[in-house]
Amino acid sequence: MNLFLKNYKIVLLISTFFMSCNTQQEVTVSKTTSNEVSTSSKKVKNIILLIGDGMGLSQVSASQFYNKKTSNFERFPVIGLSKTSSASELITDSAAGATAFASGIKTYNGALGVNTDTLAVKTIVEEISKIGISTGIISTSSIVHATPAAFYTHTKKRSMYEDIATQLVNSDIDFFAGGGIKYFNDRKDKRDLILELEQKGFSVNTQSLPMNTKPVFNKKQGYLLASNGMPKMLDGRGEFLTNATKLALESLSSNEEGFFLMIEGSQIDWGGHDNDAEYLISELIDFDNTIGIALDFAELDGETLVIVTADHETGGFTLAQDNGDYNKIKPVFSTGGHSATMVPVFAKGPNAIDFGGIYENTSIYNKMKSFFFENNNN
């Protein structure tokens, strides 16, 4: 008998024995890597959803080949594949793709939080806020850009940025960080939405994330740190995404009812559109580092599910051989737009096993919602 299979069966028998002796004890089944699939009886209390905009399998592979450290993608025990087409097109855009995650429906390209008849559909943020769950969004784009906006807005056209900003003020979001100041304080209607956010109980900072002093966690927090999108990593954005993630986790985890946090690596997509491999890879590695922050938190917490996926792939990105040399990789693009390829879904934590297989992108919303309401006693 193959030595691995023999050892695997032994581990499985031992695991089964302990489970029968103590149903409350957390047991893990050994896998072929250092990863483990938890069979804990714990339910999901918190969910961290990380969206690498435009991130296909070749982009994930680039994180392994170009990262100086071991990629955090290798820490996931469960991997699935998501089908990304929208209701209107075989190839989705970010608005329809994010609406599938946020509201569980297929809609037309360009739509945010509305169906194909432009009627509003509830977002997961609206639904779980009613049962006391805290919510947050982080993005390296403008906070009113398609992916973050899908979680709090109902807008028939994704380019209606000033309207989207107004909806953020009146939303159930408790924490946000990204760019987009001009849509809040340099508007055609002359409204000062930063003042309106403060009147809604937000502490708003337009200069920087707090470094030496802790923010007041009994208030909602908003960070608008660029006029539009945040700078590129290549242009000195630094550790914004990792530090904003740490800050959000510290803030949102103070809620005993649980939290939902969406984190977007927006500019992986932009590097793909530009067919700029250096741009794409630098953004991908920053996103990889942020995944590590989320996984570290989840492993210590024990009740947090981490999901990493993409809304679509951008650029038709490939890691090809370089002029016939199979020991050299040459990044190649086949398009300046999106592609129809399926994208990977990585999961770790309670109920992670549910994310294996091939399914529609709307299934991610359905699974997340069911976990939150299953754990709710209200």
Task: Delineate the domains of the chain, giving CATH numbers in brackets.
Answer: 1-30 (no CATH), 41-374 (3.40.720.10)
Q: Which of 94, 139, 141, 266 is catalytic?
A: 94
* Contact assessment for residue 206 and residue 224, using Cβ atoms and an 8 Å cutoff: yes
Write out the chain's pLDDT in tens, 378 residues.
443 334 434 333 434 333 334 433 333 333 333 466 655 568 999 999 999 999 999 999 999 999 999 999 999 999 999 999 999 999 999 999 999 999 999 999 999 999 999 999 999 999 999 999 999 999 999 999 999 999 999 999 999 999 999 999 999 999 999 999 999 999 999 999 999 999 999 999 999 999 865 666 668 999 999 999 999 999 999 999 999 999 999 999 999 999 999 999 999 999 999 999 999 999 999 999 999 999 999 999 999 999 999 999 999 999 999 999 999 999 999 999 999 999 999 999 999 999 999 999 999 999 999 999 986 655
Q: Is 94 among the catalytic positions?
A: yes
With CA atoms as reference, report the closest residue to 141 among 111, 102, 176, 106. Answer: 176
Query: CA 57, CA 78: separation in Å to the nearest integer?
Result: 15
Strand order in the sheet with 220-224: 202-205, 220-224, 175-179, 134-142, 259-265, 46-52, 304-309, 343-348, 78-83, 357-360
Degrees, nearest 5: CA angle 119-48-133 = 65
With CA atoms as reference, report the closest residue to 334 among 134, 91, 139. Answer: 91
* Contact assessment for residue 147 and residue 266, using Cβ atoms and an 8 Å cutoff: yes
Residue with tokens 């530009």: 274
With CA atoms as reference, report the closest residue to 297 among 249, 239, 262. Answer: 249
CA distance from start to end of the chain: 52
pTM of the predicted structure, to 2 decimals = 0.89
